[in-house]
């Protein structure tokens, strides 16, 4: 990769980071190789220095383990009282996060970053508490041992043989603004250990003694030093980047790690993280969903999600690709993202399978071109870490009953046929029964059926009869084979069924997601959108669902529920609000606030949280697998984007309406100033001359002036009416009073009203006698006709004819008004319907509202109005009046 340009995305990320850093508290880590090196002591000393400088320092929680010299340092520092948590028979002292947030000191000391909180705390882990403190703007001093760092976890386990369960994500370490290494040479640490100066819990004495061997301590010290050095290096790079951007902009490498569903994937991710850190590279962890993915057992698919989660925690970008072949997808993505190195695990396929099927590594190496391929070996993990909240499924007693019943039935059939057929065929009957059970029940009942089948076969049909004793030892082979065959067949059947089930379930979810996205894409308003989303979601996650949206004050409140209200109280609402503010999943089945009655997922759009989704599954287990949680998150993401889009749409629409209103106001002002003033000027002028010099004017002149006053007043009346009509139509203030009536009457009324203006115009009317009644508001449609006719008179030469015709077509009547004027200039056919648009001669009188009113009126009738040039010259206006679905009852004829 040879890119030297600063990546704009990276710059943006940096800017954002800095923005966030300003409002965030600072995190200072006192980092050590092992317990007993003096981290707490160093932290307290630092706190005392701060205190002496007058900084507001509070001790959040400190484990002094009864050491006098450490306790002495606490003297004079404000210590927050611990939160007492009842746990089984004892009470635990826990750090009181809420008290700390309420106290809001400048600096707080929180010992043991990797600590696991007692059950019932808001967060499962102390580091989560610390993040919340930082978000609240409080600077946190804390301590950490190297074995608790997630990415070093497996290395430590390898060195010491002790698996450390309490780990913190590397991202927390990375967030630290300062890391202070508290170092003590191993010999000195061992001496302190002997002097009893290092606190060790009683129960694990032996294991910990193993841990504190000199070799281990040296290795751990090296790890801690190296990790700190990496960190310092990164800081230096950042410093150089900030101060000499052009010169030292690093040639960032990108590493793409492909993970598989194998349990080794976690190891691969950790190894890659170390590689990425050493190279100072960005890293992406990718999983390729090939068609085989759907056939994987649930546990393997869960593992994939867990691996991707782990990668995210370690600071990787994760991506799930899909395609038919893994190697092609990986390389295509790698090229698209300018990846320089691809990391894969050592292939797990046995040698013969690799020869027959080929391996992904071979394919990658063959096609990688300029991209380096790293093959990393892995070691089986001690045991896959299971989420704490998975409870074993209760045994399915009816299925066991079914298994026994089927074996009983088989025995009955075999008993009846026993005299006629050989033993081998009886075995077949039992095997058939076992397969039957396998297709209905799970592993347990099927295994039971297998064993009981063999036992029943032995008891009833193998001599000596009605005894488990076997006379011929050869039958033992028969039993063994029968048992193995039964177990294998049943195992395969159960697995196929499970795969088919999960494939179906997955397909259902994908289909539901697709259906939801498709429907959401066509829904515009927020409420409709939520209803749609919840309806779709409930098909996949049955249970109570609720969406919380923030009000104007930024507090979330239930906006919509499905199918009924969640059990909601202040504490549930508080959880929802916490989720909204922190944009993290919390509640039922998660590590944060697990006591809540529902699971709360933040709805995070591209511009931040837009709301919260609350779910109380009908079956509590249904959200326990990471894959299902992931699915729920996928739905939530879709919803969030849709809500955000709707919100933006609403905003845009409001802005547009405002702009339109502004434009209208301007046009109106200019129209009013010109078009209304012209007739007013005439009226004022003519009437004043009559007033002032009426005597001197001749009778003919006086008549002329009076007539022009009258004419202009009428014109003014038309203008004002048009303006009022338009305003009313736009404001929705017009109530449409539709009645079934013949068009003829309305045409007649319009012609009557325009009698004087149409005096010298031949008006041809062509209305078929059988024209159906139309459901129209006579007053409004009369106005349409008047405006169009008036327009025709205005824009066509005097004496030229005007044609009015109508015809029924389908369920609508089309009305046509045509003149022999100049017609339209190109593009004017549509523009004439715009408000304040006046076509043709600039001197034409009017405000340019008449036709806009016409279209608005036809719109409220559900019809369409348009204009065209007339063949042979002139303009033609057409509009449709839909007849609707129903017809009027025909008046009874008489006579």
Partner 1 sequence: MAEAARQPAPVVPDASALSRKPTVVLIEDEPEIRRFLRATLLAEGCRLFEAATGEEGLREAEVRQPDIVVLDLGLPDMDGLDVIRRLRQWTGVPIVVLSARGQEHDKIAALDAGADDYVSKPFGVGELLARIRVSLRHAERTVREVGEPAFGVGELQVNLSQRRVVVAGNEVHLTPIEYRLLATLVKHAGKVLTHGQLLREVWGPPYAERAHYLHVYMAQLRRKVESDPARPRYLLTEPGVGYRLAAE
Chain contacts with partner 1 (rule: CB under 8 A): 710, 713, 717, 721, 724-725, 728, 737, 739-742, 744-749, 751-752, 763, 765, 767, 769, 773, 777-779, 782, 804, 888-891, 893-895
- Could you tell me the two tokens for 70? 């450490």
Kindly state the smallest distance separating residue 690's Cβ from partner 1, in Å: 14
The dihedral formed by the CA atoms of 406, 408, 412 and 414, expressed in degrees to the nearest 10: 70
**Helix/strand/coil for 139:** strand
d(CA 192, CA 207): 18
**Closer by beta carbon to partner 1, 339 or else 686:** 686
Q: If you compute the radius of gyration of the chain from its CA atoms, what whole number of angstroms results?
A: 42
E strand or H helix at 220:
helix 214-243
- Could you tell me the two tokens for 201? 């819990």
The answer to whether 254 touches 1, Cβ cutoff 8 Å, is yes
**Helix/strand/coil for 560:** strand
563 prior amide bond cis, ω within 30? yes
Kindly state the smallest distance separating residue 656's Cβ from partner 1, in Å: 29
Kindly state the smallest distance separating residue 854's Cβ from partner 1, in Å: 16
**Helix/strand/coil for 709:** helix
d(CA 402, CA 412): 15
d(CA 461, CA 429): 13
Kindly state the smallest distance separating residue 836's Cβ from partner 1, in Å: 21
Kindly state the smallest distance separating residue 811's Cβ from partner 1, in Å: 17
The answer to whether 682 touches 712, Cβ cutoff 8 Å, is yes
Query: What's the distance, CA 221 to chain centroid?
Result: 43
Kindly state the smallest distance separating residue 676's Cβ from partner 1, in Å: 15
With b for 16 or more beta-carbon neighbours within 10 A and e for fewer, the 613-623 pattern comes to bbbbbeeeebb
Return the closest-CA partner of residue 867 out of 800, 791, 807: 791
Question: CA angle, corner 26, sides to 313 and 115, nearest 5?
Answer: 50
**Closer by beta carbon to partner 1, 455 or else 676:** 676
Q: How many residues does the chain have?
A: 895
The dihedral formed by the CA atoms of 196, 199, 202 and 205, expressed in degrees to the nearest 10: -70
- Residues in a beta bridge with 294: none
The answer to whether 364 touches 257, Cβ cutoff 8 Å, is no
d(CA 245, CA 702): 87
The answer to whether 284 touches 337, Cβ cutoff 8 Å, is yes
List, in order, residues 6 or more apart from 185 with CB less than 8 Å away. Answer: 221
464 prior amide bond cis, ω within 30? yes
Return the closest-CA partner of residue 107 out of 78, 82, 128, 127: 78
**Closer by beta carbon to partner 1, 74 or else 773:** 773
Give the torsion sign (CA, 264, 266, 270, 276). Answer: positive
Kindly state the smallest distance separating residue 710's Cβ from partner 1, in Å: 8
**Closer by beta carbon to partner 1, 364 or else 751:** 751
- Could you tell me the two tokens for 396? 């399915």
Could you write out the DSSP letters of every residue in 599-614? EEEEEEETTEEEEEEE
**Closer by beta carbon to partner 1, 744 or else 859:** 744
List, in order, residues 6 or more apart from 704 with CB less than 8 Å away. Answer: none
Tokens 């239930």, residue? 558
The answer to whether 381 touches 388, Cβ cutoff 8 Å, is no
Question: CA angle, corner 579, sides to 118 and 507, nearest 5?
Answer: 100
d(CA 437, CA 677): 94
The one-character DSSP state at 674 is: I
φ/ψ bin of 872: left (φ > 0), alpha (ψ from -120 to 50), beta (otherwise)? left
Neighbours of 201 (CB within 10 A): 9
Tokens 């799930």, residue? 320
Kindly state the smallest distance separating residue 572's Cβ from partner 1, in Å: 53
Could you write out the DSSP letters of every residue in 742-760? -HHHHHHHHHHHTTTTTTT
d(CA 424, CA 416): 15
The answer to whether 309 touches 322, Cβ cutoff 8 Å, is no
């Amino acid at each position: 990769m040879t890119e030297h340009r600063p990546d704009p995305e990276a710059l943006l990320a940096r800017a954002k980071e800095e923005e966030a850093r300003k409002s965030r508290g600072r995190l200072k880590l006192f980092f050590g190789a092992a317990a007993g090196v003096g981290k707490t002591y160093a932290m307290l000393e630092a706190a005392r220095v701060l205190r002496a400088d007058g900084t507001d320092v509070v001790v959040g929680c400190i484990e002094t383990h009864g050491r006098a010299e450490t306790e002495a340092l606490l003297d004079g520092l404000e210590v927050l009282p611990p939160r007492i948590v009842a746990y089984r028979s004892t009470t635990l002292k826990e750090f009181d996060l809420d008290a700390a947030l309420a106290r809001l000191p400048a600096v707080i000391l929180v010992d043991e970053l990797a600590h696991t909180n007692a059950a019932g705390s808001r967060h499962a882990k102390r580091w989560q508490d610390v993040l919340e403190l930082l978000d609240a703007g409080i600077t946190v001093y804390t301590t950490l041992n190297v074995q608790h760092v997630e990415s070093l976890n497996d290395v430590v386990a390898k060195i010491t043989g002790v698996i450390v369960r309490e780990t913190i994500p590397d991202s927390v370490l990375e967030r630290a603004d300062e890391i202070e290494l508290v170092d003590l040479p191993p010999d000195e640490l061992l001496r302190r250990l002997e002097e009893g100066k290092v606190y060790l819990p009683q129960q694990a004495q032996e294991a910990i003694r193993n841990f504190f061997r000199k070799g281990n301590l040296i290795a751990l010290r090296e790890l801690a030093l190296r990790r700190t050095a990496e960190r310092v290096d990164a800081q230096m790079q950042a410093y150089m980047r900030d101060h000499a951007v052009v010169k030292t902009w690093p040639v960032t490498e990108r590493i793409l790690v492909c993970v598989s569903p194998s349990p080794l994937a976690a190891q691969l991710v950790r190894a890659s993280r170390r590689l990425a850190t050493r190279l100072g590279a960005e890293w992406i962890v990718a999983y390729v969903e090939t068609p085989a993915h759907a056939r994987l057992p649930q546990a393997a698919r869960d593992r994939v999600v867990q691996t991707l989660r782990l990668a995210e925690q370690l600071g990787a970008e994760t991506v799930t690709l899909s395609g038919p072949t893994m190697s092609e997808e990986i390389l295509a993505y790698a090229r698209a993202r300018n990846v320089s190195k691809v990391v894969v695990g050592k292939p797990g396929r046995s040698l013969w399978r690799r020869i027959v099927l080929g391996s992904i590594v071979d394919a990658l190496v063959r096609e990688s071109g300029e991209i380096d391929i790293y093959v990393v070996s892995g070691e089986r993990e001690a045991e896959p870490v299971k989420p704490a909240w998975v409870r074993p499924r209760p045994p399915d007693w009816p299925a066991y009953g079914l298994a026994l019943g089927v074996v009983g039935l088989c025995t009955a059939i075999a008993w009846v046929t026993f005299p006629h057929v050989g033993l081998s065929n009886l075995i077949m009957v039992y095997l058939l029964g076992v397969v039957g059970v396998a297709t209905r029940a799970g592993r347990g009942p099927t295994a039971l059926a297998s064993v009981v089948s063999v036992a029943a076969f032995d008891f009833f049909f193998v001599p000596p009869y009605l005894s488990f004793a076997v006379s011929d030892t050869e039958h033992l082979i028969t039993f063994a084979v029968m048992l193995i065959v039964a177990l294998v067949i049943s195992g395969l059947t159960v697995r196929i069924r499970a795969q088919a089930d999960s494939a179906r379930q997955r397909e259902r979810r994908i289909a539901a997601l697709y259906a939801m996205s498709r429907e959401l894409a066509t829904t515009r308003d927020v409420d409709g959108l939520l209803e749609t989303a919840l309806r779709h979601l409930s098909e996949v996650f049955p249970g109570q669902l609720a969406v919380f949206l923030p009000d104007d004050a930024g507090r979330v409140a239930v906006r919509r529920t499905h199918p009924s209200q969640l059990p909601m109280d202040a504490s549930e609402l508080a959880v929802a609000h916490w989720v909204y503010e922190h944009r993290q999943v919390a509640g039922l089945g998660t590590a944060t606030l697990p006591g809540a009655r529902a699971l709360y997922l933040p709805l995070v759009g591209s511009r931040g949280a837009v709301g919260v989704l609350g779910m109380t599954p009908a079956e509590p287990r249904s959200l326990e697998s990471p894959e299902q949680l992931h699915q729920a998150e996928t739905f939530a993401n879709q919803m969030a984007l849709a809500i955000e889009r709707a919100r933006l749409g609403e905003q845009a629409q409001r802005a547009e309406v405002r702009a339109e209103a502004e434009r209208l106001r301007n046009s109106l002002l200019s129209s009013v100033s010109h078009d209304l003033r012209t007739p007013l000027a005439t009226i004022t002028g003519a009437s004043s001359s009559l007033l002032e010099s009426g005597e001197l004017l001749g009778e003919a002149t006086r008549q002329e002036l009076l007539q022009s006053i009258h004419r202009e007043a009428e014109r003014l009346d038309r203008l004002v009416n048009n303006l009022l009509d338009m305003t009313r139509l736009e404001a929705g203030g017009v109530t449409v009073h539709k009645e079934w009536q013949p068009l003829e009457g309305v045409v007649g009324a319009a012609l009557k009203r325009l009698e004087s203006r149409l005096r010298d115009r031949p008006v041809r009317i062509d209305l078929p006698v059988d024209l159906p009644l139309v459901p129209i508001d006579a007053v409004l449609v009369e106005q349409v006709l008047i405006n169009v006719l008036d327009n025709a008179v205005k824009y066509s030469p005097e004496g030229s004819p005007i044609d009015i015709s109508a015809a029924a077509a389908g369920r609508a009547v089309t009305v046509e008004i045509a003149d022999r004027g100049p017609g339209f200039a190109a593009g004017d056919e549509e523009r004439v319907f715009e408000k304040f648009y006046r076509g043709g001669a600039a001197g034409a009188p009017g405000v340019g509202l008449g036709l806009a009113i016409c279209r608005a009126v036809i719109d409220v009738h559900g019809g369409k109005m348009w204009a065209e040039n007339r063949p042979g010259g002139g303009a033609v206006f057409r509009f449709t009046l839909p007849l609707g679905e129903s017809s009027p009852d025909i008046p009874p004829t008489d006579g």
